[in-house]
Amino acid sequence: MTELLYYLDLFGVVVFALSGALMAGRYKLDPFGVVVLASVTAVGGGTIRDVILGAYPVFWVANPVYLWLILFTAILTILIVRRPKRIPKRFLLIADAFGLALFAVLGTAKALSLEAPMPVAIVMGTLTGVAGGMIRDVLCNVIPMILRQEIYATAAMLGSCLYVALDYFAFAQNTSLVLAICGALALRLAAIYWQVSLPAFHISEKDAGQKPDKTQDKDT
């Protein structure tokens, strides 16, 4: 792992841990809950990626610095951010966008370094970017952003595809990393700013051939 790759990975862990800690504050979790939510958000996607690719030991087991960063970020968030509900929701989305872009591209780079085929690398990169946030949302009992109309997984896939393409054409790794991360981040931030979303798939009861149930069965 190059020095730039390593420091970007650390930054991604911090950003996603912040995202998880802020979400925990919105739902009034205790300090242990804050640390748990920050942890699963920060390392969830990378852990799944490493297990699937057989990259043992998992990255945070091999380097406990990641865990210390998560713990420090969670505690700092508790101490500094006294009222999470007063923080604009857009701030949480922006923090999540940075983590998404970083982890999608870094996950792709790691998969390629392990000689995974290009399609597999793209899937692993996308998974690295979205899985942590998905686990976070499930634990908070909200529909994960990846399953909503938000341009979320699409941005992760764009970053992964950009990195694979640039790597294929033999661009310098640092250049490929920066360009791919910027591409994924730009798409996600644009979607947040202009509230752009994918069309929803909806089947009405009429289209499904079912009559709306306007009455409830009465007790007999």
Judge whether 214 lies within some domain: no
For residue 220, what pLDDT band results from cuts at 50, 70 and 90?
very low
In the block, tokens 């999470």 appear at 84
Mean pLDDT over 122-140 rounds to 96
The pLDDT, as a whole number, for residue 85 is 63
Instruction: Please state, in angstroms and as integers, the Cα–Cα distance from residue 73 to each residue in 9, 123, 167, 187, following that order.
Output: 15, 28, 33, 27
- Tell which wins on pLDDT, 26 or 73: 73
- Tell which wins on pLDDT, 204 or 203: 203
Judge whether 7 lies within some domain: yes
Domain of 52?
3-194
The pLDDT, as a whole number, for residue 29 is 93
Judge whether 84 lies within some domain: yes
Q: Which two tokens stand for residue 4?
A: 């730039």
Mean pLDDT over 3-24 rounds to 93
- Tell which wins on pLDDT, 26 or 70: 70
For residue 210, what pLDDT band results from cuts at 50, 70 and 90?
low
The pLDDT, as a whole number, for residue 1 is 62
Say yes or no to pLDDT of 26 above 50: yes
Instruction: Please state, in angstroms and as integers, the Cα–Cα distance from residue 135 to each residue in 14, 59, 81, 132, 144, following that order.
Output: 17, 18, 23, 5, 8
> How much of the chain, in percent, has pLDDT values that exceed 70?
89
Mean pLDDT over 2-7 rounds to 89
Q: Are 136 and 19 in contact (CB under 8 A)?
A: yes
Amino acid of residue 49: R
Q: Are 51 and 128 in contact (CB under 8 A)?
A: no
Judge whether 205 lies within some domain: no
- 33 vs 26: CA distance, rounded Å: 12
Say yes or no to pLDDT of 149 above 90: no
Judge whether 146 lies within some domain: yes
The pLDDT, as a whole number, for residue 209 is 59
Mean pLDDT over 1-9 rounds to 87
Say yes or no to pLDDT of 69 above 70: yes
For residue 91, what pLDDT band results from cuts at 50, 70 and 90?
confident
Judge whether 207 lies within some domain: no
Judge whether 203 lies within some domain: no
Q: How many separate domains does the chain show?
A: 1
The pLDDT, as a whole number, for residue 81 is 84
Which of 6-15, 127-136, 170-179, 210-219 shows the lowest per-residue confidence on average (mean pLDDT)? 210-219
Judge whether 60 lies within some domain: yes
